[in-house]
Amino acid sequence: MTTVYQNAPPAAHTDWAYFLDIDGTLIEIADHPDAVYVDKALLRLVARLYRASDGALALVTGRSIADIEGRLGPLPLPISGQHGLEWRDVNGHVWIRAASPVETRQAIIDALQPILVRHPGLLLEKKALTLALHYRAAPHLAAYVHRLMERLAASGGVALEVQRGKCVVEIKPAGFDKGTAVSAYLAAPPFQGRCPVFIGDDLNDEHGFAEVNRMDGVSIKVGPGISCAHYRLANVAAVRRWLGKALKASA
């Protein structure tokens, strides 16, 4: 049975500025980060909405920009990767906002190695700027993983913070998130002056929701769970339908 939320978002318009999470929002979450499936229908939808909105569409994700490029191909989209730490602007230039010292990153990896051996259900994803410990295959270890990553972040000796998500805890440099990424895009054309829309499904998307709410925009949470988002869509299919209606309205 399809879930229908009372606080469904208003009809979408191509003159809005769109900020879209990927996993759990545009594509279904997979058991392994590398196992996600990006279908051609999604690529066509994103490309058409990008053109129809005159380029006012950005992907705002926890994945790296390189990872997204490898999955989506040569779409010339602005992309914010790794929770705002990477930022590709409308001209295709990529900026690194913050990075951990190499020795700090390696010390955390070294501390995690014996734990990964002891608990083979855990998966360490080594991104360029962050370290993500997944426990989807070992949900009984959730509390342990959260405590462990908090301790490792606090012992780093630099400004690190923990970012929580669905069955994952990530250690990242502090001060940047999906909200700061949205704010940076909205400061310049073609996003500037438009009604901002942020769509996401996870805890790390709450920063984006909060920033869009501050700008009197449209914040949309995908699926259940407590959120500061003002609107809801049930699932990935509902997100795609909602975005597609903006294209039909502008045809």
Q: Spell out the domains of the chain, with CATH numbers in brackets.
A: 17-97+176-250 (3.40.50.1000), 102-173 (3.30.70.1020)
Distance between start and end Cα atoms, the chain = 31
Token duo for residue 224: 């259940």
pLDDT digits (tens, 9 = 90+) for 126-162: 999 999 999 999 999 999 999 999 999 998 777 999 9
Q: What is the DSSP letter of 26?
A: T
Tens digit of each residue's pLDDT (9 = 90 or more) over 85-99: 999 999 999 999 888
* pTM greater than 0.85: yes
Separation of alpha carbons 21 and 194, rounded Å: 19
pLDDT at residue 6, as a whole number: 63
Q: How do residues 32-59 score in pLDDT, each as one tens digit?
A: 888 889 999 999 999 999 999 999 999 9
Residue in the structure block whose two tokens are 């997944």: 134
CA 111 distance to own-chain centroid = 27
Give the span between the Cα atoms of 164 and 221, in whole angstroms.
16
What's the pLDDT tens digit per position in 221-237?
999 999 999 999 999 99
Determine the 3-state secondary structure of 96 from DSSP: strand
Q: Which residues are catalytic?
A: 21
pLDDT tens column, 174-217: 999 999 999 999 999 999 999 999 999 999 999 999 999 999 99
What the block records as the tokens of 119 is: 């608990």
